[in-house]
């Protein structure tokens, strides 16, 4: 590795426009070699655009890129990769039907006698995994579609290291990890920086930015709001730089007590798309005026559980009761009409039709509901008014109901989906990762809205891989492991480490406090 005193990456006056929208406005960024540099900011602040410029996805309209002091211009990501830049996107760039090995070497396949040398690729991948402590090498022949989200993320990191990245851009890399796995990732990042690699760490978790990064740059409205040393700032100061106001980090104490049982599940078995049992729970109840949180590493049956409850996946056996009525055999539409709202895990695939504008997306789930549809005819004026209300109330940017869903950032897509579902006037909300990819100001807003609805008497089932989120919002916290509830705990009376061990499959000790899943 070439010794240099110049920063690993310098962005000088980067400006990027999309029509009349200025996504980046004269942004400067300097990343020292062998350091972790966090990039934080609200959705639409320009973080992803700035990193897309560095990664060769966009040409800057103005400004200069320097890598190790040398001015560079990238016409494509391949140019950036050749210059030692790797990017792990928030939405993974993996081919689902292909194996882990095939994804890692795609476009960089080693050959022997004119054929792809997968044996040689295996050896090189195993070396990378061994060097940095990843366990991806035990999945080399597994298809991506058969892996959990957490493993897929590690595949992306290994892919960049395999391709020789000296500077890694990590977009929300801890979103699907347990506290113990986050600590392990931090150790891996330490090893990477000690080897001279530089990391740009995009995160919405300010405590992570402060604990993992050496320096932190805050973007606001496309401009740099400043760069600070992590040991010389506070979460409150960073939040103020991001949103221009003080942000409340703790939830208010609850003002009401839970009521009767709204959702009641017994002996539920659910299979995945391969026909394998992913859920096997004896009982689950959620009361009105209560948030029941479900914590766990992604891939332990949470997705199949919420899909079965929402009516998107048939239960193999067992019963689901809502408001005292058996809804096990009801369709998704019938469950919507009965008062069940669902915030899906994947906003792009399940929450929105990307090609549709926001008006048409506002109609989804309301196709048979007055005042949007009367006698089989859509009242588009009412739908447009509904879309406008969601955009205004949930601060969706850009605030244009005619914009396509695909033109919105991931966080703004999420806010639109959350707004549409919460405004259905439901009795039960099934919220799966409701703030994934959302900035701190919007997280606060969504949390407040969920708690308001809980206090108004709604039952809420919350699934999230963010431990701080489920602990903050939940009245009871169930930990899911390999399709079962390993324990249900009081979120105010358990440590992150204890929950993390449960998420990793540790059985509770005999003297652990146990609460029943059913109230």
Residue 250: what pLDDT? 59
Residue 256: what pLDDT? 61
Residues 22, 91 share a domain: yes
Q: Confidence class of residue 38 from pLDDT cuts 50, 70 and 90?
A: very high
- Tell me which residue has tokens 């929402």: 310
Q: 324 near 411, Cβ under 8 Å?
A: no
Q: Could you tell me which residue, 41 or 9, shows the higher pLDDT?
A: 9
Q: Tens digits of per-residue pLDDT, 284-313?
A: 999 999 999 999 877 789 999 999 999 999
In a domain, 2, yes or no: no
Residues 38, 126 share a domain: yes
In a domain, 371, yes or no: no
Residues 87, 160 share a domain: yes
Q: Tens digits of per-residue pLDDT, 89-100?
A: 877 788 989 999
Residues 333, 315 share a domain: yes
pTM score, two decimals?
0.65
Whether omega before 398 lies within 30 degrees of 0, making that bond cis, reads yes
The closest alpha carbon to 40, from 258, 210, 183, belongs to: 210
Q: 462 near 296, Cβ under 8 Å?
A: no
- Domain span including residue 27: 9-243
Query: For the chain, what is the mean pLDDT?
Result: 86
Residues 99, 72 share a domain: yes
Residue 466: what pLDDT? 79
Residue 397: what pLDDT? 83
In a domain, 102, yes or no: yes
Q: 22 near 15, Cβ under 8 Å?
A: yes
In a domain, 408, yes or no: no
- Among candidate residues 243, 278, 303, the one where a domain is terminated: 243
In a domain, 469, yes or no: yes
Q: Which residues pair with 429 in a beta bridge?
A: 341, 460
- Among candidate residues 243, 275, 291, the one where a domain is terminated: 243
Which parts of 163-287 fold into alpha helices (H)? 179-194, 206-212, 235-243
Q: What is the CATH number for 118?
A: 3.40.50.300
Residue 245's contacts (CB-CB under 8 Å, 6 or more residues apart) are none
pLDDT at residue 269 greater than cutoff 80: yes
Residues 309, 266 share a domain: yes
Q: Could you tell me which residue, 371 or 316, shows the higher pLDDT?
A: 316
Q: Confidence class of residue 516 from pLDDT cuts 50, 70 and 90?
A: very low
Q: Tens digits of per-residue pLDDT, 138-147?
A: 888 899 988 8
Alpha-carbon dihedral angle through residues 310, 311, 316, 320, given to the nearest 10 degrees:
60
In a domain, 474, yes or no: yes
CA-to-CA dists, residue 11 to 168, 315, 417, angstroms:
15, 52, 34
Helix H or strand E segment including 180: helix 179-194
Residue 180: what pLDDT? 65
How many separate domains does the chain show? 2
pLDDT at residue 128 greater than cutoff 80: yes
Q: Could you tell me which residue, 338 or 443, shows the higher pLDDT?
A: 338
pLDDT at residue 106 greater than cutoff 90: no
By DSSP bridging, strand 9-18 and strand 62-67 are antiparallel
Map 59-88 to HEC letters.
CCCEEEEEECCEEECCCCHHHHHHCCEEEE
Q: 311 near 335, Cβ under 8 Å?
A: yes
Residues 133, 205 share a domain: yes
In a domain, 403, yes or no: no
In a domain, 141, yes or no: yes
* Rounded Cα gap, residues 519 and 517, in angstroms: 6
- Among candidate residues 243, 267, 282, the one where a domain is terminated: 243
Q: Could you tell me which residue, 165 or 153, shows the higher pLDDT?
A: 165
Residues 268, 171 share a domain: no
Q: Tens digits of per-residue pLDDT, 487-514?
A: 889 988 888 888 878 887 765 454 444 4
- What size, in residues, is the chain? 519
Residue 515: what pLDDT? 41
Residues 177, 122 share a domain: yes
Q: 161 near 188, Cβ under 8 Å?
A: no
Residues 239, 111 share a domain: yes
User: How many contiguous H segments (helices) and E segments (strands) does the chain have?
Assistant: 16, 24
Q: Confidence class of residue 245 from pLDDT cuts 50, 70 and 90?
A: low
Residue 1: what pLDDT? 45
Map 5-17 to HEC letters.
CCCCEEEEEEEEE
Residues 237, 131 share a domain: yes
Which two three-digit tokens encode residue 468? 């701080």
Residue 518: what pLDDT? 55
Residues 286, 230 share a domain: no
């Amino acid at each position: 590795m070439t010794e240099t005193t110049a920063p690993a990456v310098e962005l000088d006056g980067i400006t990027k426009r999309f029509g009349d929208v200025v996504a980046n406005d004269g942004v400067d960024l300097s990343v020292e070699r062998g350091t972790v540099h966090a990039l934080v900011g609200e959705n639409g602040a320009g973080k992803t655009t700035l990193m897309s410029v560095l990664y060769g996805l966009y040409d800057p309209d103005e400004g200069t890129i320097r890598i190790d002091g040398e001015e560079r211009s990238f016409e494509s990501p391949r140019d950036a990769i050749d210059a030692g830049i790797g990017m792990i996107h928030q939405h993974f760039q993996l081919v689902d039907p292909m194996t882990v090995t095939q994804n890692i070497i795609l476009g960089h396949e080693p050959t022997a006698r004119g054929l792809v040398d997968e044996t040689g690729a295996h050896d090189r991948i195993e070396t990378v995994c061994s060097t940095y402590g990843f366990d991806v090498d035990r999945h080399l022949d597994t298809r991506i579609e058969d892996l959990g989200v957490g493993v897929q993320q590690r595949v992306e990191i290994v892919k960049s290291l395999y391709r020789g990245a000296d500077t890694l851009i990590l977009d929300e890399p801890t979103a699907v990890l347990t506290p113990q796995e986050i600590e392990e990732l931090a150790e891996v990042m330490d090893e990477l920086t000690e080897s001279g690699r530089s990391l740009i760490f995009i995160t919405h978790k300010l405590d992570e930015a402060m604990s993992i990064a050496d320096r932190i740059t805050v973007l606001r409205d496309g401009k740099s709001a400043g760069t600070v040393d992590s040991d010389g700032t506070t979460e409150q100061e960073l939040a103020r730089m991001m949103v221009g106001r003080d942000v409340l980090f703790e939830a208010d104490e609850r003002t009401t007590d839970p009521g009767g049982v709204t959702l009641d599940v017994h002996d539920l078995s659910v299979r995945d798309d391969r026909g394998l049992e992913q859920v096997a729970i004896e009982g689950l109840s959620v009361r009105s005026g209560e948030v029941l949180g479900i914590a766990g590493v992604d891939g332990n049956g949470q997705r199949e559980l919420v899909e079965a409850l929402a009516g998107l996946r048939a239960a193999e056996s067992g019963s689901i009761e809502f408001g005292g009525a058996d809804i096990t055999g009801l369709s998704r539409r019938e469950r919507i009409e009965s008062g069940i709202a669902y915030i899906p895990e994947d906003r792009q695939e399940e929450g929105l039709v990307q090609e549709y504008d926001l008006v048409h997306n506002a109609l989804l789930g309301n196709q048979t509901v007055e005042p949007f549809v009367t006698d089989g005819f859509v009242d588009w004026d009412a739908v447009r008014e509904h879309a406008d209300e969601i955009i205004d109330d949930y601060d969706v940017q850009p605030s244009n109901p005619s914009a396509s869903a695909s033109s919105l950032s991931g966080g703004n897509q999420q806010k639109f989906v959350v707004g549409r579902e919460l405004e259905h006037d439901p009795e039960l909300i099934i919220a799966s990762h409701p703030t994934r990819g959302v900035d701190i100001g919007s997280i606060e807003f969504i949390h407040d809205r969920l708690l308001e609805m809980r206090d108004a008497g709604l039952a809420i089932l919350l699934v999230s891989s963010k431990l701080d989120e489920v602990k903050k919002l939940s009245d009871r916290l169930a930990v899911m492991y390999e399709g079962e509830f390993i324990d249900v705990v009081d979120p105010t009376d358990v440590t992150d480490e204890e929950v993390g061990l449960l998420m990793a499959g540790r059985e509770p000790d005999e003297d652990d406090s146990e609460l029943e899943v059913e109230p």
